[in-house]
Amino acid sequence: MYQKDSGDKKYFRVLNILNKLNEGPVRVAELAAEFGVSERSIQRDLERINMTGFHLDTPQKGTYAFAGGVSLKSYNLSSEQLSVLVLMREMAGGLGGAIKDAFDKVFERATAASAADSPFYAVGPRALNPLTRKFYEDIVFAIERNKKLKVRYVSAAGEKERVLCPVKILASESFFYMMASVDGGRAGEFPKFRVDRIKKLDILPEEFTPPSPETIKKIIGTATTIWGVNEGKKTPVTLRAEGAAADFLRSKEILPRQKVSKPAPDGSVTVKAVISHPMELVPLVLHWMPEITITEPLDLRSEVRSRIDSYLKKQG
């Protein structure tokens, strides 16, 4: 049983949860009862662990487990040292920018678990890995062994069979995406395929030459949502935020290369960022309007206005 006077409660909870996860799935309700805290506190601990790089699955509601291939044995540090890294990652993430980048490099060196070597890449600050992984094992197998995949995929244009060369699994907003080049397609292009839209998948014996880790890192770039991955165009944007929207953008790094000015006398801030796709920005503006407005570029303002007009028109 957990002892409440055992020092830093959060540290010991994370330490114990890491060790329990290494043995098998854990239940949030049982952990909350054992440690004498709320279920939300346990969920926050699990989110800390997941965002550090120990990717988690949810086999069923209220239950968490290490994703396939994740084990404390694969790291170079003890579980005590790894639990310290989990808490350090949270602090570094809150500071953002160079501090977060520095921590990520320390983590990679300390654990020898480079993001470039992992088949996963979590896009965005809240990208928990879901367990809607119908073809998870096959995709990971293909990525790790550079095997081609034959898939039957349903897109807006209809159902089509194609051969893909998978290079990364992207987790974003409760969806899985497979980043892959199309066999016979244009070189250097890596479209994203939503895994839940794959109706059939076969691993082929043929192998392919994967892109370099540097290429993958460049493609993903500073994306904070799935929309920012694998897009070539870069668009500088400027926003004006006030009220709760200003507080939100000052406290979280939501947009790629986000820079927030000091508050004006009225509390408003100017936010500058560089996006790769309009949908990196449009949902944010729609969510926070009217406390957030696009200053430039003007075509993005028109995009937001068009969406609002279309919505109102449908509402009659």
pLDDT of residue 27: 92
Spatial contact of 171 and 123, defined as CB atoms under 8 Å apart: yes
Spatial contact of 13 and 48, defined as CB atoms under 8 Å apart: no
Res 187 pLDDT > 90: no
pLDDT one-digit tens code per residue, 148-179: 999 999 988 889 999 999 998 887 766 788 89
pLDDT of residue 36: 87
Number of domains in the chain: 3
Q: What is the mean pLDDT of the chain?
A: 80
pLDDT one-digit tens code per residue, 88-131: 776 766 666 677 677 677 766 666 644 455 555 555 444 334 43
Candidate from 15-29, 172-186, 296-310 with smallest mean pLDDT: 172-186
- Residue type at position 192: K
For residue 165, what are the CA distances in angstroms to 63, 148, 170, 203, 297? 33, 5, 15, 10, 36
Candidate from 47-56, 145-154, 186-195, 307-316 with smallest mean pLDDT: 47-56
Domain residue limits at 30:
9-113
Looking at residue 278, which CATH number applies to its domain?
A: 3.30.70
Q: What is the pTM of this model?
A: 0.49
CA triplet 129, 217, 94: central angle to 5 degrees? 60
Are both 196 and 160 inside the same structural domain? yes
Are both 169 and 105 inside the same structural domain? no
Looking at residue 25, which CATH number applies to its domain?
A: 1.10.10
Are both 49 and 89 inside the same structural domain? yes
Which of 220, 252, 280 terminates a domain? The answer is 220
pLDDT of residue 127: 39
